[in-house]
Amino acid sequence: MKKKILFLFFLISMLTNAQSNPKGFFDLSGPKKIWVLFHPFKAKKSLKISQEVNRVSDSIKKTNLLDGDASGGQVDAFRHAYWMARLRQEIGKSAARSLGKAHEKENYKTFKKNQLEDGVVPDEISSIMDLYNNEEGLKLIVKRSELSQKSLIYKVINAINEGKMKIIKKNKKGDFLTCEGEIIAPESLKGKWQNNKCLVVSN
């Protein structure tokens, strides 16, 4: 029993002492807590990578390398693919994939609470998009690859521009569109996990 308590204390302190305002263990969603408990020695590294990915994605958003859309667009696809690629590089494919799945389970819980993720309430199509782009990101690298951060960033950007990722169909004004190209009224999306948004290739 003492070993279990010490282990849990070590785990919590490991998470809460990481850099730049991390969530403490008790602030994590249920799916992410479970992931941490099964991957205690990878948790701190994954937190640092997640913070790095957010910084890089924010920087990419301000350039003309992608469409600047961090909510269903190319920057969103970049964030997920780059996140998975960096995680696989550092902690391996299986652990990376299971963390990505835990994140999407968290998004469903966020939807149920009507809370925002990246400025919008998550929905099923966004989750499908994220999981797809996660898998594409996992294909871009192997564990312990010595590919530099810059090279990996451009590898992900090139994959997006080649249409290997998925994004949500929108018009130039940012309105969501059906697969038939019809504008979806924002009020029709409120409170709906399933809707008629459309996934398209990323180029």
CB of 105 closer than 8 Å to CB of 31: yes
pLDDT for position 128: 97
What pLDDT was estimated at residue 65? 97
Q: Which residues pair with 176 in a beta bridge?
A: 170
pLDDT at 119: 64
**Which pTM value belongs to this model?**
0.84
Question: Ramachandran region of residue 92, left (φ > 0), alpha (ψ -120 to 50) or beta?
Answer: left
Cα 131 to Cα 48: distance, rounded to the nearest angstrom: 21
| Domain range annotation of the chain | 44-201
Q: Which residues of the chain have pLDDT under 50?
A: 4-10, 14-23
Q: Which residues of 65-86 are buried (b: 16+ CB within 10 A; e: fewer)?
A: bbbebbbbbbbbbbbbbbbbbb
pLDDT (0 to 100) of residue 20: 37
Identify the pLDDT of residue 18.
40
